Every structure is written in C-alpha cells, then in structure tokens.
Amino acid sequence: MKKFKDLIELTKPKNLAKIKSRMADVKTVDSRDTSWRLPIEKFMKENGFSKLGSGKYASVFGNPNYNFVVKVFLKDAAFLRWYEFIKANQSNPYVPKIRGKIMKLSDLIFGMRIEKLTSFNGGGKFMDEYRKWKSDNKYRSGDKNIDSILDHFDKNSKLLDLHGDNMMMRGKQDVVIDPYYNWFDVTTKKYTIDPDKISPDTFK
C-alpha cells in the first residue's frame, strides 16, 4: 500500500508539474471554471481513490483501504474559519476528526484528510438542538460541546448555511462537516470573508 504522502503530497515530479500547471489557471476562489478538478480526479483515481462527492469549492475522495477521506478544496475562507474551530476542538464529538495538517497544492488549492464518516440520516442530538437555536438564537442546550458550536455560529451568522448535505454520521453521532458558505457578491466582486485574510495559525 502506498503511503499517504506519496499520494497526495504529489512528490512525483511529473504528476506535480501536470497538476500545478492546471491549478495555475485558477485565479479566483469564486471561479465558475471547475476544470481544476480534472487532473486531481485523474491522479486520485490512478492511486485508488474514487470521488465521493463535490460542492462548489471542493471534491472529496475515498479509498476502502484507508480510514480517512481526502478533501481537495479552493481557498474558501468560510470553510477555513470552520477548520480553525474544529482543529482547536478535536475532543468535541460533533466535529470531524482531522488527520495531519492542511497541505498547500497551489496558492488557491489545498488538501486535507478527515475521518471517514457515513451519510447523514436526518437525525441526531445536535440537529435537534440546532433547530431550537434557529427559532431562538439565545437558546443554549446545556451541553458544552453543542453550545460551543452554537456560540461559533452566533459569531459567524452571516456565513451560516447548515443543512443535511453539510452533516454526516459517526455511528449514531451526528457530525457538523461544513456549516459555512463564503457568499460572493457578483456585483461588487466582494466576498463575505476576504480569502486572503485567513489566520496565520491555520496552516501550522
């Protein structure tokens, strides 16, 4: 079995050159051009990883021989704000467990490993409490793990975009995967969060 660093850190010069040349064409996080995904998908497929899903800013890949998935994503400042929270709260059962550090593949494209989870089934304690909070933003559950997330939501309410597609399960435990969205105003060409204004601690 190949080591993870040989797969995703792209240490083979030919693979690195091909993928980086395609990535260099990506000039903005809000690009409607998704062709940057193609060399990544090809590379991952050649190494036994199949695409499990994708969103506007990311694609996720899995391999049955590994207990993690690989997320390759554009420099989505909203997701990175959530990443900073989950990195600092790995003991919280409602956030995903991360493996290692974020890897920079280009100025705008990154990769990371996350624990392997299963599809969201529509239930779970967190979602029950979240629905109550949605009706009354002053509501708190009394569970410190849930409330710390709700407090984070309060501080980032303009970014919040939580729904079933952004939740997964660890057994019977519901897990918040990606609750924020970096809203982009096509008229003013401005983001909710400037992608360049990311905490320097994110990549430590």
DSSP assignments along 74-136, one per residue: E--HHHHHHHHHHHHTTT-TTSPPEEEEEEESSSSEEEEEEE--EE--S--HHHHHHHHHHH-
Q: Which residues pair with 101 in a beta bridge?
A: none
Residue 171 is predicted with a pLDDT of: 95
User: What is the mean pLDDT of the segment spanning 103-129?
Assistant: 88
Alpha-carbon distance of 49 to 176, in angstroms, equals 23
Q: In what order do the strands lie in the sheet with 173-176?
A: 118-119, 167-170, 173-176
Residue 86 is predicted with a pLDDT of: 96
How high is the mean pLDDT of the chain?
Answer: 83
Q: Indicate the helix (H) or strand (E) that contains 44.
A: helix 37-46
Q: How confident is the model at residue 56 (pLDDT cuts 50, 70, 90)?
A: confident
Residue 5 is predicted with a pLDDT of: 53
Q: How confident is the model at residue 177 (pLDDT cuts 50, 70, 90)?
A: very high
Both tokens assigned to 103:
């890897």
User: What is the mean pLDDT of the segment spanning 175-182?
Assistant: 94
User: What is the mean pLDDT of the segment spanning 72-85?
Assistant: 90
pLDDT in tens, 37-46: 777 787 778 7
> 122 lies in which domain range?
1-204
Report how many domains make up the chain.
Answer: 1
